[in-house]
Structure 1
Amino acid sequence: MATTTHANPRHSITRADAVSLWLFMAAGAAIAVWVTWTAVARIIAVLPNRDVAVLAPFAGTPAEAPIGPDGAPVTVELEQAVLTVPELPIASVWAVVIQQVVLVVAVVAVVTALIWLSRNVARGVVFCRTNTVLVATAGTVALLGYFAVPFFGNMASNGAFAVLSEHTFNNVIMTVDPFALVLGAFVVALLGTVFAIGERLQRDTEGLI
């Protein structure tokens, strides 16, 4: 009489692969801590709302830079610059705070999902429902963060422009690269599909003779 056995969902990995995954997890944790630290420092620096430095995008705005012979001024086109504003509008201050909070939440969420995924893979579990959800979660949160962080940054820089120019300089620019956003969405969808197919194949092989 034929007997059925269940396929083991675990796959052996080499010691070198396991070490690489654990180093990757350690690096991810360090990045999350560093981003959190810098975000908290940024919020603390902005909340007093005095001499606030804001990174602002420009659309090829001409400016003078002392890069000629003996420091002679040369006309250049600005792509971005740091503006120091005596006092930002309250909405712009909160935009900076929200930007930093969103950045921390996005980075910590992505790092947590990837560390969890790496831990599963290091233990030999590659294709499973949990890993598929982790891949989809990390990708989706990364895309949302990629859009939201510069969005709130633009709100802050627009407030800085309004203060310095007394509302006479219009420089509303969205700094999110749509090509990179679409490419990122494609990669996330592809990875999610790969893991979903792998999970289904893993499930279908269970019970084979």
Structure 2
Amino acid sequence: MSTVDTYKQSRGDTIGLYTFMVAGIAIAGITTWAAVARIIEVLPNRDVTVFADFSGTIASAPIGPDGAPVDVELDTALITAESLPGASVAALVIQQIVLALTVIVVVGCLIGLCRNIIRGQVFSRTNTVLVTTAGFTALAGFALTPFFGNMGANGAFARLSDRTFNNVVLAVDPFALIMVAFVVALASTVFVVGDRMRRDTEGLV
């Protein structure tokens, strides 16, 4: 049996992996519950509160002497509209579905990876697929979740301003997206190389 193929972790490592698995299940459960609650909140389409990004927007805040208003530049805020266009409601629902599915898939893949590592299988084709699937799912979720959220916010802006307020903001930070893509590619490459080493050294002592 190849020494690269199997690995016997310490008791502490095993406990850590089981703890990670339990935490992952808890995160997936909480995220799904929060997504369902948000969908229930949005679907009636009454007094919908959305998270909004702003760009170069000045507002007054009571932070001066004795609460005097002072101009500040908004970065993000929660805004509430009496109702949203149907497309915006759909976008907010899709946002929560994408978020929940992303977390469930990523957690499921990582739990499968932890289970295989506990069994002594570190580098294998299965683990490579699990890592790659988790990585690219996280990447897609990272890009799509704020995109659909921004669509919902734009609907709120349109209703509140009667389509007179233009607040076009890029929902995804390109630099952060590139960094996530780099980490995903690196992790996938490490497991591809590790699996190749395992196959090349099969039968060696």
TM-score by length of 1: 0.95
Of 109, 112, 120, the residue aligned with 1:113 is 109
The whole-number CA distance in structure 2 between the counterparts of 1:97 and 1:145 is 14
How far 1:7 sits from its partner (Å)?
2.3
Q: Is 1:173 aligned to residue 169 of structure 2? A: yes
Letter in 2 for 1:92: S
How far 1:72 sits from its partner (Å)?
1.2
> Which residue does the alignment assign to 1:161?
157
CA RMSD of the aligned region, Å? 1.0
Q: Is 1:75 aligned to residue 71 of structure 2? A: yes
Of 28, 32, 38, the residue aligned with 1:32 is 28
> Which residue does the alignment assign to 1:187?
183
Which runs of structure 1 show a deviation greater than 6 angstroms over 4 or more consecutive aligned residues? none
Letter in 1 for 2:99: L
The whole-number CA distance in structure 2 between the counterparts of 1:66 and 1:199 is 60
Letter in 2 for 1:7: S
TM-score by length of 2: 0.97
Of 142, 147, 170, the residue aligned with 1:146 is 142
The whole-number CA distance in structure 1 between the counterparts of 2:62 and 2:196 is 62
Q: Rg larger in 1 or in 2?
A: 1
Q: Could you list the runs of 5+ residues in structure 1 that have no partner in the other structure? A: 1-5
Q: What is the identity percentage for the equivalent residue pairs of Structure 1 and Structure 2?
A: 61
> Which residue does the alignment assign to 2:193?
197
How far 1:207 sits from its partner (Å)?
2.2
The whole-number CA distance in structure 2 between the counterparts of 1:207 and 1:23 is 34
The whole-number CA distance in structure 2 between the counterparts of 1:93 and 1:79 is 23
Q: Could you list the runs of 5+ residues in structure 2 that have no partner in the other structure? A: none
> Which residue does the alignment assign to 2:2?
7
The whole-number CA distance in structure 2 between the counterparts of 1:124 and 1:111 is 20
How far 1:208 sits from its partner (Å)?
2.7
Give the length in aligned residue pairs.
204
Q: Is 1:22 aligned to residue 22 of structure 2? A: no
